[in-house]
Structure 1
């Protein structure tokens, strides 16, 4: 039986992206300049990929406790961008074949998968 993780959601506002740019010192105009971002193939401002990853960590910590993620290994792929103004949800479920691994994802409000992968937790034995 697969065990689901608690889902964690957020709506990403431009202000949050700007604050994240300050924290990470990543001021790429695709993240912080709406006029520039509109001229790119993305068509608008996109959030830093690592901003979305934080939701995965929150989901795992909420489900299994903060100590569970201390030595966890995250292996993910970015599949689609997260745009300013979008609402996303992170979650996952225990991998049916590996008890110490969870398949994780970040999805948009329309159900599109933006990030997919897995998180491996240290063996508890």
Structure 2
């Protein structure tokens, strides 16, 4: 699930809404992320263990959900996000299997620099109940704009 659209960076202005992305949080992807990251904390992969914790069940790795934020920025800005993008975020709540998270952003500041146009965005990841999972800022430098 996600967008195939790309922003028209030549018409960016403060307040521009980025194309949002929706992702389903599924246990299989959490397990695959555990293997890739070598983070086998049972709160992520052992339902029986996790059920008996204050969280009441397994939760996704925070960095897995943060990767969705980066994926949304890549969908909006393309390859340049991968070479000049920066995130400054906070984890606010866990994402759980069965959640649908919506990742969105808004341009909050544009500034001309020697390197190009510096774009600062607010980014937000919320679950289907509107609870904030991740919030913060993203910045990118667009050359030739």
After TM superposition, is the score higher than 0.5?
Answer: yes
User: Which structure has the larger Rg?
Assistant: 2
SS in 2 for 1:80: coil
For structure 2, the 5+ residue unaligned runs are 1-13, 112-117
1-side partners of 2:108 and 2:128: how far apart?
Answer: 24
TM-superposition CA deviations, 1:37-96 (whole Å, max 9, x none): 011111110000011111111111111112233121110000000011111011111014
For 1:13 and 1:123, how far apart are their aligned partners in 2? 34
Task: Give distance in 1, aligned partners of 2:78 and 2:128.
Answer: 26
Q: Which moved more, 1:88-97 or 1:38-47?
A: 88-97
| Rounded Cα–Cα distance in structure 2 between residues aligned with 1:27 and 1:89 | 26
Q: Given the alignment of the two structures, is residue 114 of structure 1 paired with residue 127 of structure 2, yes or no?
A: no
TM-score by length of 2: 0.80
Unaligned runs of 5+ in 1: none
Specify which of 29, 36, 39 is matched with residue 49 of structure 2.
36
Q: How many residues align?
A: 125
1-structure distance, mates of 2:99, 2:24: 6
1:16 maps to 29
Q: Give the equivalent residue in structure 1 for 2:58.
A: 45
Is 1:100 the counterpart of 2:119 in the alignment?
Answer: yes
- Whole-angstrom distance in 2 between the partners of 1:40 and 1:94: 39
CA shift, 1:100, in A, is 1.4
For 2:31 and 2:121, the matched residues in 1 are separated by: 31
TM-score, structure 1 normalization:
0.92
Match of 2:94 in 1: 81
Residues 80, 142 of structure 2: 8 Å contact kept: no
